Amino acid sequence: MTQTYLTTKALSERIHYNERTIRNQLKVEQVQSIADSKKCRESTPQ
């Protein structure tokens, strides 16, 4: 399977959505993902 990477500008043009909204939402999801993985590591006994 081939992966295609798009800029937020190209993505916004394809899906007709605001470029800034896409970028901000991706940032929020990335921060949440990092926080979730950190919680998981902290709760795992060593």
Inside any domain, residue 1: no
Q: Which domain holds residue 17?
A: 8-43
Answering whether pTM is above 0.85, one says no
Inside any domain, residue 24: yes
Domain count for the chain, please give it: 1
Which tens digit of pLDDT belongs to each residue from 1-46? 899 899 999 999 999 999 999 999 999 988 888 888 877 877 766 5
Query: What is the C-alpha to C-alpha distance for residues 46 and 30, in angstroms, rounded to an integer?
Result: 26
Query: What is the C-alpha to C-alpha distance for residues 36 and 46, in angstroms, rounded to an integer?
Result: 18
Inside any domain, residue 32: yes
Inside any domain, residue 2: no
Inside any domain, residue 20: yes
Inside any domain, residue 3: no
Inside any domain, residue 29: yes
Inside any domain, residue 14: yes
